[in-house]
A and B are shown apart, each in its own frame.
Chain A
């Protein structure tokens, strides 16, 4: 018999999608049964009380968590999101329900051995509930009490060689796409760069020193499988400089129907026979492709590297060999002054261990933003307030047509005094000697 009646939540156990309600109930039952004789360090009925408080929220249509919460581990200024229930007498199991962010491996590759050991810690010292994973990438442990935080941290670091993720006004946990581990489009080793920068900037990740949060994300190609252009203050997106590699025989195999377009991604509906003109040539945003019935050609100097043709015919078309990444800056959610996607700053940067060219751009931006950024101002907002030109200056980047989608249409153009013959110091009397009042 469940501790709390949950008629509203029980509705969510119906239907085909995996039900989080079923799963939490299962975990609640497992904790009560406790077959392994675990010495639970937080209330055994944490899962029951979580369902109870959630049912109450469904009824009231209001959250039942108190505002904020400041908890953590010594040495770090972030990593744990404190949370307290606003009805602790009714739901003592979730009186404290802190979230622990655990830094995940690049690409979220795991062994069952590692996950089992992690879960052993969490089973004993937490709720047994997780979020695999948080949007930023962390493996998230949902729900524990303050007294357990240092215990969890000790076991994580000493037994699992695993650290906490980031929270607060600092570098948040970086994340990347699967990259070269299982994708032929990857233009650089996203795992290597993500891991190297996570390690390099541990200090910035664990001890908030920034005006506000700051995120890195690494996409191996413009497809953006980790959505870096929308979800990271600095987005690293793989690309190439030379020509797309064409296998003409494979192109013919697509045209002949032996190979499925988009690797069969649209197989669930009949879209007719593959039409290379209609599906590739005419869809190219720069119109730089042609097909003469037997040969595909690409005018690579006009190619944006949008990925469409490669995505459609992955067996026939491949990324070039001269590879690297573009760096874009400033993506953020709407608060305060509107949503932004990242803007192109460095069109092409080589991505090779030890990634010095990449680090230089990062550190130049930080030096500037840490000094000039206002309290709780994202990089994107600092760019808006101080101007893109300033970002170019501090990163030592030469302005380039690729920095804009189109030139400004208003004539409010600032000049530097040194670029104007005679400078800005003028004498009105001198002017009046030529122009009467």
Chain B
């Protein structure tokens, strides 16, 4: 498994660049990932999505359905793609440190 070093932190990741362990997440991770996910500047709106995903994951042990993410954050799916160009799964969940989405994707 690959490891990356960034701003003094070490992260273990898989081929798709997802964190291997949610506990390894730190704000530096977001900084490290944002470029490969097509994000120049991190805004409060990005932060809001990331925080909600993490809260939901901590409480429920899974990522929320897209509909719930939209409802709670108040961001339409279109806007989520404006924030995270590769979408809520590959973009936002990766930055939030959640496990890689699975299933018939």
Contacts and interface: CB of A to CB of B under 8 A. Distances in A.
Interface in A56-88: 66-78, 81-82, 84
Given A69-B16, A82-B16, A208 B87 contact: yes
Given A77-B89, A208-B87, A213-B104, A69 B67 contact: no
Contact of A70 (B16, B81, B104): B16
B51 to A, nearest CB: 21
Given A169-B66, A209-B77, A77 B88 contact: yes
B67 A77 contact: no
B74 interface: no
Contacts of B87: 72, 76-77, 207-208
A68 B105 contact: yes
Interface string A175-202: 0000000000000000000000000000
A376 interface: yes
Choose among A70, A168, A370, A371 the residue with the greatest number of B CB atoms under 10 Å from its CB: A70
Given A75-B81, A82-B16, A70 B67 contact: no
A376 B85 CA distance: 23
Nearest to A208: B66
A275 B28 CA distance: 80
A77 B69 CA distance: 15
B90 A71 contact: yes
Interface in B91-105: 94, 100-105
B29 interface: no
Nearest to B103: A376
Contact of B105 (A66, A70, A207): A70
Interface band, chain B = 20 to 34
A207 B81 contact: yes
A203 B87 CA distance: 13
B41 interface: no
A273 to B, nearest CB: 51
B105 A81 contact: yes
A72 B90 contact: yes
A70 B100 contact: yes
Contacts, number: 68
A69 B86 contact: no
A75 B88 CA distance: 11
Nearest to A66: B15
B102 A68 contact: yes
B11 interface: no
Contacts of B61: none
Contacts of B77: 207, 209
B102 A71 contact: no
A312 interface: no
A84 B86 contact: no
Contact of B86 (A74, A81, A203, A370): A74
A209 B94 CA distance: 18
B72 interface: no
A167 B81 contact: no
A134 B87 CA distance: 24
Interface of B: 15-16, 18, 38, 62, 65-67, 77-78, 81, 85-90, 94, 100-105
15 contacts: A66-B15, A70-B105, A71-B90, A74-B86, A75-B86, A76-B86, A76-B87, A77-B81, A77-B88, A82-B16, A168-B105, A211-B65, A211-B67, A371-B67, A375-B62
